[in-house]
Structure 1
Amino acid sequence: MIVALLNQKGGVGKTTLALNLAGVWASQGKRVTLIDADPQGSALDWSQQRSREGLARAFGVVGLARDTLHREAPELARDADMIVIDGPPRVASLMRSALLAADLVLIPVQPSPLDGWASAEMLALIGEARIYRPELVARFVLNRCGARTVLARETAATLADHDPPVLAATIGQRVAFAAAAQSGQLVSELNDGTPAAREIAALADAIKCLSIGRAAR
């Protein structure tokens, strides 16, 4: 299965979610490749930091920040159980290519009206991609949120009326994500009992419940 984390708005946590989801699937024995399709190259930077720290490779990370992604990602998928695409912000040609490559699109949003408004262009691109890929599945993911805050509840309620819907699993504002990234680690490697690690595991479970492609096997 090819999972793409995409949003036209930057700074919503796409790379953090992409890396940690890839880590969960790799820990389950799946063959995982993460495609860094963001010209900024944050996932590649993380992989290089991991190597400098002398840590074993958790999964493959390759840079493919080009609009031929929809042709190259399926080729990589032949030798992997899961492909995770860390998508670019604000680069429409790359975004379109990632959408055509994906089986599932996750749209990370933070509990803010600004994130909701910024998602309109993303939804238009998904609608465009579905002309060619009607089977494309998409879900919002609430990220960096306090589940008990009014704003988080209001954002979740607003997204509940949308197509695509929002996944029930949410990710909180956790310092563990930044702490892990600084040393090229995943939150599960710091301590798999932390709230951050549990939330990522729950997100992976929610994705599995969607029963898309090879993820359902």
Structure 2
Amino acid sequence: MILALLNQKGGVGKTTLALHLAGEWAQRGKRVTVIDADPQGSALDWSQQRARERFPRMFGVLGLARDTLHREAPELVRGVDHIIIDGPPRVASLMRSALLAADFVLIPVQPSPLDGWGSAEMLALLSEARIYRPQLAARFVLNRCGARTIIARETADTLADHDPPMLASTVGQRVVFARAAQSSQLASEIDRDGFAAREIQALIDEIAKLHIERLAP
């Protein structure tokens, strides 16, 4: 499966989710590659720092911030179980290419009604991609949130009637994610039984239940 983490809005936690989803799949025995399609290269920086710190290599990270992703990703997926594309904000050509490469699009949003309203451009790009790939699956995921806060509920309500729908799983704003980024680790390596690790596990489990099929390139 090729999963693309995309949102036109920056700062919604795409890279954190990409790395942690890859890590969880790797810990479950899957072969995973993260494609860093963001010109900022945060996922690639994380991977290179991890190598310098001599932490075990759990999955590959490849820098590929160009609008030929949809032509190159099908070749890359042949050697792995999953590819995760860490998409760029505000670069429409790269996002279009990622959408055309993907089997499943995950759209992270933060707990703010503005994030819901600000997804209009992302949804327009998704609709455009579905002209060519009508079976392309997509979901919103509420990220960096306190799941029981009023604003988190309001954001979920704002997006409730949207296509794509919202996943039931949410990921909290947790200090361990910042610690993991600074130390080139994953939250599960710091605390396998902590809230952050369990939220990522639940997210992976929910994605698995969607039974996403590989789309023809």
TM normalised by structure 2 equals: 0.97
Whole-angstrom CA distance in 1 between matches of 2:53 and 2:114? 37
Partner in structure 1 of residue 94 of structure 2 = 94
Matched residue SS, 1:213 = coil
| 1:69 is the counterpart of 2:69 | yes
Partner in structure 2 of residue 159 of structure 1 = 159
How much does 1:118 deviate?
Answer: 1.4
Matched residue SS, 1:167 = strand
Task: Number of aligned residue pairs: give it.
Answer: 214
Please tell me the residue identity of whatever aligns with 2:160. A
| CA RMSD, Structure 1 to Structure 2 (Å) | 0.7
How much does 1:14 deviate?
Answer: 0.1
Please tell me the residue identity of whatever aligns with 1:67. D
Please tell me the residue identity of whatever aligns with 1:189. E
How much does 1:80 deviate?
Answer: 0.7
Partner in structure 2 of residue 23 of structure 1 = 23
Partner in structure 2 of residue 142 of structure 1 = 142
Higher strand share: 2
Contiguous gaps of at least 5 residues in structure 1: none
How much does 1:69 deviate?
Answer: 0.2
How much does 1:125 deviate?
Answer: 0.2
TM normalised by structure 1 equals: 0.97
Whole-angstrom CA distance in 2 between matches of 1:60 and 1:167? 27
How much does 1:49 deviate?
Answer: 1.1
Structure 1 segments, 4+ long, off by >3 Å, are: none
CA-to-partner distance for each residue in 1:72-118, whole Å, 9 max, x for gaps? Answer: 11110011100000000000000000000000000000011221121
Indicate the percent of aligned positions where both proteins have the same amino acid.
Answer: 79
| 1:55 is the counterpart of 2:55 | yes
Partner in structure 1 of residue 9 of structure 2 = 9
CA contact (8 A) 2:31 2:80 kept: yes
CA contact (8 A) 2:110 2:143 kept: yes
Give the alignment of 1:107-146 within 5 angstroms.
107-146=107-146
Please tell me the residue identity of whatever aligns with 1:185. Q
